[in-house]
Chain A
Amino acid sequence: MHNKSITELAAGLRAGDYSSVELTQYFLDRIQRLDGELNSFVTVCKDEALSAARAADQQLQTGEAGVLTGIPIAHKDIFCTEGIRTTCGSKMLESFISPYDATVVAKLKAAGVVNLGKTNMDEFAMGSSNETSYYGPVRNPWDTETVPGGSSGGSAACVAARLAPAATGTDTGGSIRQPAALCGITGLKPTYGRVSRYGMIAFASSLDQAGPMTTSAADAATMLQVMAGFDRRDSTSADQPVPDYSAGIADDLSGLKIGLPKEYFGEGLDASVAKSIEEAISEYRKLGAEVLEISLPNTHLAVPTYYVVAPAECSSNLSRFDGVRYGHRCEDPKDLEDLYKRSRAEGFGDEVQRRILIGTYALSAGYYDAYYLKAQRVRHLISDDFTRAFEQVDVIMGPTTPDSAFHIGEKADDPVSMYLSDIYTIAVNLAGLPGISIPVAPAAGKPVGLQIIGSYFAEARLLNVAHRLQMATDYHQAAPAGI
Chain B
Amino acid sequence: MPLDHADVKKIAHLARLDLSDERMGGIATDLTNILELVEQLSAVDTEGVVPMAHPLQMAQRLRSDEVTETNCRELFQSIAPQTENGLYLVPKVIE
Q: Do chains A and B touch in the complex (CB under 8 A)?
A: yes
Knowing A301-B41, A371-B38, A416-B37 are in contact, say whether A336-B53 is a contact too (CB < 8 A).
no
Contacts of B63 in A (CB 8 A): 232
Chain B residues within an 8 Å CB radius of A315: 15
- CA of A323 to CA of B89 in the docked complex: distance in angstroms? 10
Task: List chain A residues, Cβ under 8 A from B34.
Answer: 307, 354, 358, 415-416, 419
B72, A99: Cβ atoms under 8 Å?
yes
Closest Cβ neighbor of B10 among chain A residues? A364
B window 70-91: CB within 8 A of A: 72, 75-76, 78-82, 88, 90-91
Contacting pair A97 B79 (CB below 8 A) = yes
Are B46 and A374 interface neighbours, CB within 8 A? yes
Which residues of A from 301 to 319 have beta carbons under 8 Å from B? 301, 303-305, 307-308, 315, 319
**Nearest CB of chain B from residue A378's CB, rounded to whole Å:** 5
- Tell which of B3, B39, B44, B61 touches A381, judged by Cβ atoms closer than 8 Å: B44
Q: Which one of B17, B61, B75, B88 has the greatest number of beta carbons of chain A within 10 Å?
A: B17
Q: Is the CB of B51 within 8 A of A377?
A: yes
The 8 Å CB contact of B55, one of A354, A361, A381, A431, is A431
CA distance A360 to B14 in the complex (A): 7
Q: Which residue of B lies closest to A370 (CB)?
A: B42
Could you say which residues of chain A place their CB within 8 Å of the CB of B40? 300-301, 304
Q: B1-36: which have CB < 8 Å to A? A: 3, 7-8, 11-12, 14-19, 27, 30-31, 33-35
Known interface pairs A325-B88, A335-B92. Does A360 touch B15 (Cβ–Cβ under 8 Å)?
yes
> Are B16 and A341 interface neighbours, CB within 8 A?
yes
Q: Is B52 an interface residue (CB 8 A)?
A: yes
Q: A354-B30, A361-B11 are in contact. Are A373 and B51 (CB under 8 A)?
A: yes
- Residue pair B58, A236 in contact (C-beta under 8 Å): yes
B67 is an interface residue with CB less than 8 A from chain A: no
Chain A positions 329 through 372: 1 when the CB is less than 8 Å from some CB of chain B, otherwise 0: 10001111111111011001000011011101110100000110
B44 and A378 within 8 A (CB): yes
Partner of A340 from the list B16, B31, B42, B55 (CB cut-off 8 Å) is B16
CA distance A303 to B33 in the complex (A): 13
Bound Cα distance from A155 to B19, whole angstroms: 33
Judging by beta carbons under 8 Å apart, are A357 and B76 in contact? no
Residue of A nearest to B51 (CB): A376
User: In the assembled complex, how far is the CB of residue A77 from the closest CB belonging to chain B, in whole angstroms?
Assistant: 16
Are A345 and B17 within 8 A (Cβ)?
yes
**Contact of A244 with B by CB under 8 A:** no
Judged by a CB distance under 8 angstroms, whether A477 is at the interface is: no
Least Cβ distance of B78 to chain A in Å? 8
Whether A357 touches B79, Cβ cut-off 8 Å, given contacts A193-B56, A338-B91, A344-B17, is no
B50 neighbours in A (Cβ, 8 Å): 377, 380
Which B residues lie within 8 Å of A301 (CB)?
Answer: 40-41, 44
Contact assessment for A339 and B90 in the assembled complex, using a CB-CB cutoff below 8 Å: yes
Contact between A341 and B60, CB atoms less than 8 A apart: no
Within the assembled complex, what's the spacing in Å between the Cα atoms of A338 and B18? 8
Contacts of A334 in B (CB 8 A): 91
Q: A315-B15, A336-B92 are in contact. Are A378 and B54 (CB under 8 A)?
A: no
Q: Compute how far the CA of A334 lies from the CA of B92 in the bound complex, rounded to whole angstroms.
A: 9
Q: Verify if A96 is at the interface (C-beta below 8 Å from B).
A: yes
Residue with the greatest number of chain A CB neighbours at <10 A, chosen from B14, B19, B63, B78: B14
CB-CB nearest in chain A for B34 = A358
Q: Provided the pairs A344-B16, A357-B11, A357-B27 are in contact, do residues A378 and B41 lie with their beta carbons within 8 angstroms?
A: yes
Known A235-B61, A325-B88; judge A456-B42 contact (CB<8 A).
no
What's the minimum C-beta distance from A382 to chain B, rounded to whole angstroms?
A: 9
Residues of A within 8 A of B37 (CB): 303-304, 307, 416, 419
- When chains A and B are docked, how far (Å) is the Cα of A41 from the Cα of B59? 39
Q: Return A328 CB to nearest CB of chain B, in Å.
A: 8
* Bound CA–CA A376/B41 (angstroms): 10
B56 touches A415 (CB 8 A): no
Given A357-B11, A374-B41, A378-B41, residue A329 in contact with residue B56 (CB < 8 A): no
Q: Name A235's contact: one of B55, B60, B75 (CB within 8 Å).
A: B60
In the complex, which of the residues B19, B53, B78, B81 has the most CB atoms of chain A within 10 Å of its own CB atom? B81
**A206 on the B face (CB < 8 A):** yes
A357 and B11 CA atoms in complex are apart in Å by 6
A96 and B79 form a contact (CB under 8 A): yes
CB distance from A480 to the nearest CB of B (A): 34
**Are B12's CB and A357's CB within 8 A?**
yes
Q: How far is the CA of A370 from the CA of B16 in the complex (A)?
A: 23
| A177 → B minimal CB distance (Å) | 16
14 pairs of residues in contact across A and B, judged by CB atoms under 8 Å? A232-B61, A236-B56, A238-B56, A307-B34, A327-B81, A333-B91, A335-B92, A344-B15, A356-B15, A357-B17, A361-B3, A362-B38, A374-B42, A379-B51
